[in-house]
Structure 1
Amino acid sequence: MLFGQYAYFVPESISMRASEIAARLGIEPDEAVIRGSRSPADRVIPAAHCWRVVCRTAGMTVDEQISHIVDRLFVHALQIGMLAAELDRTDGGPGSAVLQVVRVFGHPAGEPEDLSGLVDGLGKLPGQHQLLGWHLDRRTLEFLWLTGAELDIDEYAYR
């Protein structure tokens, strides 16, 4: 099976643009989204401005991708948490900061399952993709707590 995944951390807001978030944090994002930039006349799409630090590195497990993001942002966690709390108040609810994991099963550009070699002397069987399974370590949990972030995991099957 082909399998693709990536992770990102995002403060998002309906009122504060990504450029202002970057200025407030003193960190340039890897990606930025402008609220309503793809908007048809009757709906605002995307619904929020987003400032994102992203890890799309192939061959990394989700925990490794998340650790990469946390390593980049951990020293700014308290500052991010204060901004997220402000955005929660301004925008009317929790959820301004999110650690997002996106996984796509069967994506044609995904990574193939590695059935070569042995693991602890045992052969690998199909259906045990090397990117399946992950965990959050204490440092990541502390980062989520300090930033006031939610964890959101989206998993899709490619059609």
Structure 2
Amino acid sequence: MLVSQYTYFALASMRIPGTEITARLGIEPDEVTVRGSRLARPPRPVAHEWRVVCRKPGLTVDEQMTRIIDRLFDHAERIGALAAELDRVDGESGASRLQVVRIFEHPAGEAEGSAGPVDGLGNRFGQHRLLGWHLDSRILEFLRLTRAQLDVDEYAYE
């Protein structure tokens, strides 16, 4: 099995653009999307987004999350306050999100391999080392402080 995955933290708004989010936080994002930049009606993307992304291959999801959180943890309370404001401005919740995207059988994905036994246990076929992940207390605290939802999308490449 081939696995391609990446993780990002996003702040999204229907009204407030990513450039303003950057100015308010004083943190440079890795990516910014503009509402309606691909399609005006209906708008695609549906919202402006400010993102900090980890696309480093070979890392588990929790390792990718940790890289993002290491960059943002000291700003978590300020991010949470801005997320609450964005929710008020847009009239709905969900401005803050930690997103996991996994694509199975993607041609550019990482192949299964045997990293060798751990505590006498080896991998069997179908036990890809990237499949397991966990949320430690620091990740959970970051989600709480930033008012973030956790969204996990998994796809099969065709």
CA distance in 2, matches of 1:122, 1:138: 27
In structure 2, give the amino acid aligned to 1:7: T
Aligned residue-pair number? 158
Q: Which ranges of 4 or more aligned residues in structure 1 deviate by more than 2 Å?
A: 115-124
TM (norm. structure 1) is 0.96
- The CA deviation at 1:35 is 0.5
- Report the 3-state secondary structure (helix = DSSP H, G, I; strand = E; otherwise coil) of the residue aligned with 2:110: coil
Q: CA offsets per residue over residues 71-129 of structure 1, 9 Å max, x none?
A: 10000001000100000000011100000000111100000011252232344211000
- Code of the residue aligned with 2:20 in structure 1: it is E
Whether the 8 Å contact between 1:115 and 1:126 is mirrored in structure 2 is no
Unaligned runs of 5+ in 1: none
Q: What are the ranges of 5 or more consecutive residues in structure 2 without an aligned counterpart? A: none
Specify the code of the residue in structure 2 equivalent to 1:151.
L
SS in 2 for 1:38: coil
Partners of 1:123 and 1:30 lie apart in 2 by 37
SS in 2 for 1:140: helix
Residues 1:95 and 2:94 are matched in the alignment: yes
Cα distance in 1 between the residues matched to 2:28 and 2:102: 25
Distance in 2, Cα, partners of 1:22 & 1:65: 22
Q: State the partner residue of 1:80.
A: 79
Q: Which amino acid aligns with 2:54?
A: C
The residue correspondences of 1:28-43 to structure 2 (distance < 5 A) are 28-40=28-40, 42-43=41-42
Letter paired with 1:79? R
1:124 aligns to what SS in structure 2? Answer: coil
Residue 15 (structure 1) aligns with: 15
Between the aligned residues of both structures, percent identity stands at 63
- Give the distance between the partners of 2:138 and 2:69, measured in 1 at CA: 8
Task: Give, as a single letter, the amino acid of the residue that structure 1 aligns with 2:88.
Answer: R
- Letter matched to residue 136 of structure 1: L
1:1-159 to structure 2, matched below 5 A, reads 1-40=1-40, 42-159=41-158
The separation in 2 between residues aligned to 1:123 and 1:151, in whole angstroms, is: 31
* TM-score, length-scaled by structure 2: 0.97
